[in-house]
Structure 1
Amino acid sequence: MKNQRNNRQNVSMKWNRRGWAMVLLLLFNYTLFAGIANAEQSTKASETKTVYLTFDDGPSKNTSEVLDILAKEKIKATFFVLGQQAESYPDLVKRIVQEGHQLGNHSYNHAYKPLYTDFREFWRQIIKTENVLNQIVGQRPALLRAPGGTYGNFDASYFEHLGQAEFIIHDWDVDSGDSKRSNVPAAEIIKGVKSGPLKSHITVLMHDGTGHSESVKALPTIIQYYKNNGYQFAALTSEVKPVQFRLAQKSKWVKAALSPEEADRMMMQDAASWPDASLSEVMNRSLPLFVRFGSATWQLNTGEYQMIRDQFYVSLRTMTSRMGGEIQWDGKQQTVILKVGDMQAEMNMIKHVAIVKRPGEENMEVSLDYVMKDGGTQLNLRDLMDIMNVKVLSYIDDGQKREVTVE
């Protein structure tokens, strides 16, 4: 918080009634105009629009030109680098950091099939890239971008495993289109950016890897475009809420089986080798989840819930049983009927929506976010609480206890 200085002066004067009236009038006008000015400043602050320029697949010879442009424009950006490229261009990695930009992890070699058919290989590449960057600049970036983005490539387990290891996964709002094919011309890249949404915060996908010289040519015009629209520029940080694509109903890849226990052992083994990390950074998956509602406490054990992107997903059947309710499955209509007390919810799993019915009340519609695991449905806990018409007040997840309080 900024320190505010209050200057106080003691003035002894004799005032007549008219003099006091003038003082009061001046004070009123000052307070009024100060309030208006403060309100305008508050409004301007809330309207601050930010663009996060991100560059994937580097570093390469193009990165040097990108950094020159960013330096000239006095703006910061984020570079999701490949470990393989970082090894080839260590001086550019150092320059990225020295000039105040943010580093992110983009795997080691960007090879889709091995990365997305077995999480073991994805994890191996992420850790290998971390080690490369640690050797060059002493950093192990928490920011991570999946090659090709998460949609259709990640399943729930990828989000869960990486979340356990405290990686922050970033997709994007605006795709410049500079990687649709080889040598996409600058004019087309600019058009791709301008066709994107103008939201208050935008993450833009671009590339600075080999073969993206046209992206470099397009960059000054893209920067000016956002400046003309009132945007400021910043690098991503761990405090910025990440853009993440919704989870696809079906992965593009057939993935090798990996048990939670094996994943834990694999991640803990790597964490133990980090000089600046402890085993507690890899969260203990065996902890039960307690949901507290007044005097009632519902406990969910391992396998009855999971965490994806900082959200709890609970077994619908188990949680319904804990609450004293029942569910019925209509396979033909792909609908689940959930009944708890006098409440009934018709959950359309295809449309991801529930129609909630209570006696004497209008029907209520609730959006559903769920995943399938071991043939069962795990529903976002907040969505289930919305169906029950209760609010999530708080949750604790400190590595020793997992607890959600609702009312």
Structure 2
Amino acid sequence: MVILSFTSFFFEVKWWSFLLLFLFWLTMTVWGSSDIRLGYFVKTHCNNPNEKERKIALSFDDGPHPITEKVLDVLQKYDVKATFFCIGKQIEKHPEIFKRILAEGHLVGNHSYSHTNKFGIFSTQKVIEEIQRTNDIIHTVSGKKVVYFRPPFGVTNPNIARAVTHTGHHVIGWNNRSLDTVIEDENKILKRVKNRVAPGGIVLLHDTSQKTVNVLEQLLLFLQSENYDVVPIDKLINLPAYET
């Protein structure tokens, strides 16, 4: 835009050139804010592109929740470890379920305190408060200081970027989104995830509904048949999940 404005002093530049440039900038900003895989505003870890072996990670958002217990039962049945991005206020409601997640060898990450749909318009300071509040809750319940953060809805923007720089968190995304909170048909959810399975990938699921529990068991059977090794995210991207 600046270059175009400068050029207009020497050459005739059509007004619609500015409009097109503005629309391009707006499109990229909206897309960059809503698609965490782009890393548009902040560095994100959405997979391990260098992984050649059949390794993949499963992640669950929005717990702990009563359904989390059923998810844990399935993971235990298949001896699989996953990563749970937990909401602060949900940990306060279900501390025992949160403790079970850790006791069974799974990783936990920070998924904000409120998970409000207004998170994307929070100030930098408000985002910092949300992250630190949840970190404090996790530390109180478990003694762990988490350094993984997954923003609600996968939204990123300059305020969130400044906040995680301040708190020192790694932003963890995904490259295989199940849409299990949107799609009702379990077969369609399963098909969507299976079609996107690839070495080094991170699958996004939610431990908040029975349909996801049902899909999870079928997905694990599929991954088993394809000789995939399901690992926690720290083993996939080689970044520690907790402060040492």
Counterpart for residue 75 of structure 2:
70
Match of 1:107 in 2: 112
Q: Is the Cα–Cα contact under 8 Å of residues 115 and 121 in structure 1 kept in the other structure?
A: no
> CA contact under 8 A between 2:178 and 2:192: conserved in structure 1?
yes
SS of equivalent residue, structure 2 residue 229:
strand
> 8 Å contact 1:134–1:140 — kept in the other structure?
yes
Please point out which of 220, 224, 239 is paired with 2:221: 224
How big is the shift at 1:165? Answer: 2.6
Distance in 2, Cα, partners of 1:119 & 1:84 = 20
Supply the AA of the counterpart residue of 1:178. Answer: D
Normalised by the length of structure 1, the TM-score is 0.44
Structure 1 unmatched runs, 5+: 1-45, 243-275, 278-407
Cα 1:114–1:194 shift into 2, 3 Å? closer
| Stretches (4+) displaced over 6 A | none
The answer to whether the aligner puts 1:207 opposite 2:206 as a matched pair is yes
Contact 1:57 1:81 (8 Å CA) reproduced: yes
User: Aligned in 2, Cα 1:166/1:117: closer, same or farther, shift over 3 Å?
Assistant: closer
Cα RMSD, aligned residues only = 2.2
What is the distance in 1 between the residues matched to 2:236 and 2:153? 24
Structure showing the higher strand proportion among its residues: 1
- Distance of 1:218 and 1:141 partners within structure 2: 28
Q: Distance in 2 between matches of 1:115 and 1:47?
A: 35
Alignment of 1:115-130 (within 5 A): 115-130=120-135
Q: Please name the residue that 1:133 is paired with.
A: 138
In the alignment, is residue 237 of structure 1 matched against residue 239 of structure 2?
no
| Inter-CA distance 140–67: structure 2 relative to 1 (3 Å threshold) | same
Q: Is the 8 A contact 2:122 2:159 kept in 1?
A: no
Tell me, yes or no, if structure 1 residue 57 matches structure 2 residue 62: yes
CA shift digits 1:256-290 (9 cap, x unpaired): xxxxxxxxxxxxxxxxxxxx89xxxxxxxxxxxxx
Provide Cα deviations, 1:42-97, integer angstroms capped at 9, x if missing partner.
xxxx7421111000000111100111111110110000000111111101111111
**Residue 88 (structure 2) aligned to one of 65, 73, 83:** 83
* Structure 2 residue 170 is the aligned partner of structure 1 residue 168: yes
SS of the equivalent of 1:95 reads helix
The reply on whether 1:177 has 2:179 as its aligned counterpart is yes
For 1:3-402, what aligned pairs fall within 5 Å after superposition? 47-149=52-154, 153-180=155-182, 184-196=184-196, 198-209=197-208, 212-237=209-234, 240=237
Tell me the CA shift for residue 204 of structure 1.
0.2
Task: Give the Cα separation in 2 of the matches to 1:161 and 1:202.
Answer: 26
Amino acid of the structure 1 residue aligned with 2:58: L
Change beyond 3 A, Cα 1:142–1:239: farther
Percent identity, please.
28
- Larger-Rg structure: 1
TM-score under structure 2 normalisation? Answer: 0.72
CA distance in 2, matches of 1:110, 1:69: 26
- Tell me the secondary structure at the aligned position of residue 187 of structure 1: helix
Q: Work out which structure has the larger RCO, using CA pairs closer than 8 Å and 6 or more positions apart in sequence.
A: 2
Instruction: Note if contact 1:143-1:238 (Cα within 8 Å) is conserved in structure 2.
Output: no
SS at the partner of 1:195? helix
SS of equivalent to 1:139: coil
Q: For the structure 1 residues 110 and 162, does the alpha-carbon distance in structure 2 shift closer, same or farther, using more than 3 Å as the test?
A: same
**1:83 and 1:109 in contact (8 A); partners too:** yes
Relative to total residues, which structure has the larger helix share, 1 or 2? 2
Stretch deviating more after TM superposition (110-119 or 67-76): 110-119
Instruction: Note the alpha carbon deviations across 1:108-139, whole angstroms, 9 max, x for none.
Output: 11102145332222211111111111111111
Q: 1:164 to 1:108 in 2, by over 3 A?
A: closer
How many pairs were matched up?
191
Query: SS of 1:112's equivalent?
Result: coil
